[in-house]
Chain A
Amino acid sequence: MARLKSTENKTLFAADLAVNLRMVALVLLSVVIMITDHRSQRLEPVRNVLATLAYPLEYLIQLPILIGDRVNDLFTEQSQLLAELDNLKKKQLFINVQLQKLTALEAENRRLRALLESSANIREKVLIAELMTVDFDPYRHQILLNKGTTHGVYIGQPLLDQRGVVGQIVHANRFTSTAILITDPNHALPVQINRNGLRTLAVGTGDFKTLELPHVPNNNDVRVGDLLITSGLGGLFPRGYPVAQVTRVEFDPGSPFAHITAQPTTDLDRIREVLLVVSEPAPDPDSMPVGPHKSP
């Protein structure tokens, strides 16, 4: 009996040792993986495979919402639909009128740019993506989108919505992609003040309503209410999209830089749909389709 007990103890001890060794190995492996993943993109394929494995489950938790929407559609009153249609028609008319002006302005802008011999993308191709409702870490401003590499999403692709810049793609998986918002503490965006063209960086703060402009010298001309637009200097974001509006400017004589904060033009905590911009190489000014005017 005593003997039996000692062998039992021995196997228990051996099992314990095996677990300890396995744990040590896993800790080391985790550290190596974390360092590699943090410093390079080499593990991106592994991440894609794993994220694709999780896709069915992600889709599963969207189902109740999708079904709810469908049922809601079924039971919407006809009169309500007609009212909505009417409303949308009016809006369409309004937008069309504005668009007419825009076409003229765009042509003029192109002509002027051709005269200046500079080129700029005015129209970009876009892809519409919806947010998937997945509960993310509240300290990171990241969102999951329902479009992936199969739809042409790539890392670094900029995200917009109807009111301004939203963020950029950080992980592109097969059917989904993860995007980082401009308010994430690890995000910086090259911007320009619309009023005077002053270039600077807008850095996220971890608060959906605040961006910081940390590198503006005290003697520069920034005012509350100034609109910040993308400057296009980073090469990722197309030029000229609204980003934020300056909400606070404090000149502190003791420090070399002013304290400036701005509020994003979109409600980043309430977005449902985003536009993914497909960037194209800047068109050659000579081959640009300029309407009536063509430089000799």
Chain B
Amino acid sequence: MMFRGPGGWIILLTLLVGFTLDMIRLPRWLEAFNPEWLALVLIYWSMALPQRVGVGTAWLLGLLVDATYGVVLGQHALGLAVVVFMTMKVHRQIRVLPLWQQALSIMLFLLVQRLLVFWINGIVGYPSHDWWFLAPIIGSVLVWPMVFIVLRDLRRFFMIR
């Protein structure tokens, strides 16, 4: 799907950049707010080009995340697929929203994803006892305008449709 049409490599590259950014360790005080880069990039592409980047792509990348981080396989796969699914359901509406309203909708998608991931964590024996697991959502919402503008310009420059 992703490689049907021009610029498939660019899409894959941005997704891999998102995946790599997720792995980079931030300073201690910022660590909890580390944005969910891969999720944001996936949200962008599934919003702009839902016919090319869909739930299948998100699921496969999520599986890669699970294997890399050594967590139970399927956890992030499910989380990311759900995020992309929700984005695709409303992509026509949020595409035209102003950036800050987009950021708010993304906050909701990521909230669902975080809750899913932590629910599964709880089942496999890693319950969390505080609310810090929601902190990445704040970071993600703050960087969303930047992610959106960079990816939009890339898409226009390479004329990816």
Contacts and interface: CB of A to CB of B under 8 A. Distances in A.
B125 A26 contact: no
Contact of A57 (B20, B26, B31, B74): B20
Given A34-B75, A58-B68, A135 B56 contact: no
B36 to A, nearest CB: 12
Which of B23, B77, B133 is the most central at the interface, judged by chain A CB atoms within 10 Å of its CB? B23
A135 B32 CA distance: 10
Interface stretch (A102-110, A136-144, A158-166, A215-223): A136-144
Contacts of B126: 137, 139-140, 185-186
A41 to B, nearest CB: 11
Given A26-B59, A50-B68, A140-B71, A19 B54 contact: yes
B51 to A, nearest CB: 8
**What is the interface of chain A mostly: helix, strand, loop, or mixed?**
helix
A128 interface: no
Interface of A: 15, 19, 22-23, 26-27, 29-34, 37-38, 43, 46-51, 53-54, 57-58, 60-61, 133-140, 142, 144, 170-171, 178, 185-186
A51 B20 contact: no
A53 B71 contact: no
A37 B70 contact: no
B19 A57 contact: yes
Given A135-B22, A170-B70, 18 more contacts: A19-B54, A23-B81, A23-B82, A23-B85, A26-B59, A29-B59, A30-B75, A33-B73, A34-B120, A38-B72, A46-B67, A47-B67, A48-B67, A51-B67, A58-B23, A135-B23, A138-B32, A140-B71
B25 interface: yes
A223 to B, nearest CB: 30
A57 B65 CA distance: 12
Nearest to B130: A139
A273 B9 CA distance: 37
B14 interface: no
A19 B64 contact: no
Interface residues of B, number: 42
Interface in B62-118: 63-64, 66-75, 77-78, 81-82, 85, 88
Which of A30, A37, A38, A140 is the most central at the interface, judged by chain B CB atoms within 10 Å of its CB? A30
A144 B67 CA distance: 12
Contacts of B66: 47, 50
A61 B121 contact: no
A139 B64 contact: no
B56 A26 contact: yes
Contact of A133 (B25, B67, B88, B124): B25
B74 A51 contact: no
30 contacts: A19-B55, A22-B56, A23-B82, A23-B85, A26-B55, A29-B59, A30-B78, A30-B81, A31-B74, A33-B73, A33-B77, A37-B72, A37-B74, A38-B124, A46-B67, A49-B67, A50-B64, A51-B68, A53-B64, A54-B68, A57-B20, A58-B68, A60-B20, A135-B25, A135-B31, A136-B70, A137-B71, A138-B31, A142-B69, A185-B125
